[in-house]
Amino acid sequence: MSGATIWLTGLPSAGKTTIARALAGRLRGEGHRVEVLDGDEIREFLSAGLGFSRADRDTNVRRIGFVARLLASHGVTVLVPVIAPYADTREEVRKHHQEHGTGYVEVHVATPVEVCSVRDVKGLYARQAAGQLSGLTGVDDPYEAPAEPDLRIEAHRQSVEESAGALHALLTGRGLL
C-alpha cells in the first residue's frame, strides 16, 4: 500500500482518460485503492471558474498536484489524466511530491495532433477549425511535450490494454504498487 501519483499528460483526445480508467479498473481488481482525478470533474468542482489562460491552467495543475499528493501519501494510487501543458508547472508538481517523499510518475500520452483531431471526442478541434474556439492546446495554444517522461505511450500504435499494461509494469518495477 505505497501510494503514488501517476500524471498522464498529453493533448485533448490523446487517450489520457481512457488509459487511466483502464488501469484504474485493473488496479481496483487487484485490491489497490485508486482515484482518478479527471480534468473535467476537477474543473466542475475544485477549479470551478478557471479558464484556459496560462495562469488558470497553472493554478489548476498546482491544485490537482496538491490534492493528488495528499491522497497518494495516504496509500492511494492517484491517476491524473490532465493536459498540464507547461513543463515548468509539471516540474513543480514533481518537486512537491519529492519534498514529501511521495512517489510520482510522469507519463506522456504521445498521440500526434493529427490523430487527436480525428478522434476529437468533445468536438474541440472541429470548433477550433470553424473559428468558434481559440486557445486549443496543441493547435493554437502551447503544449510543451515532456523531454524525459518516466514513460512515453504511443497510444496511436497500441491498444488501450497494452498501454495500461505498460504503465502497470512500470509501477510494479518501481515498487509503487
Ligand X SMILES: Nc1ncnc2c1ncn2[C@@H]1O[C@H](COP(=O)(O)OP(=O)(O)O)[C@@H](O)[C@H]1O
Q: Which is nearer to ligand X, 17 or 128 (by Cβ)?
A: 17
86 near 142, Cβ under 8 Å? yes
Q: Please calculate the CA angle 145-78-116 and round it to the nearest 5 degrees.
A: 35
Under the criterion CB under 6 A, does residue 26 sit at the interface with ligand X? no
With a CB cutoff of 8 Å and minimum separation 6, the contacts of 105 are 4, 5, 6, 7, 150, 151, 170, 171, 174, 176
Between 104 and 143, how does the x/- string for binding to ligand PPS read (CB under 6 A)?
------------------x-x----------xxx---x--
Under the criterion CB under 6 A, does residue 77 sit at the interface with ligand X? no
Query: Which does residue 124 touch among ligand X, ligand PPS, none (CB within 5 to 8 A, set by kind)?
Result: ligand PPS
Min. distance of Cβ 136 from ligand X in angstroms? Answer: 12
Query: Which does residue 40 touch among ligand PPS, ligand X, none (CB within 5 to 8 A, set by kind)?
Result: ligand PPS
Query: Which does residue 119 touch among ligand X, ligand PPS, none (CB within 5 to 8 A, set by kind)?
Result: ligand X
124 near 136, Cβ under 8 Å? yes
Partner residues linked to 7 by β-bridges: 80, 106
Q: What's the half-sphere exposure (Cβ side, CA atoms, 13 Å) at 79?
A: 25
Min. distance of Cβ 98 from ligand X in angstroms? Answer: 26
Q: Binding to ligand X (CB under 6 A): which residues in 98-127?
A: 119, 121
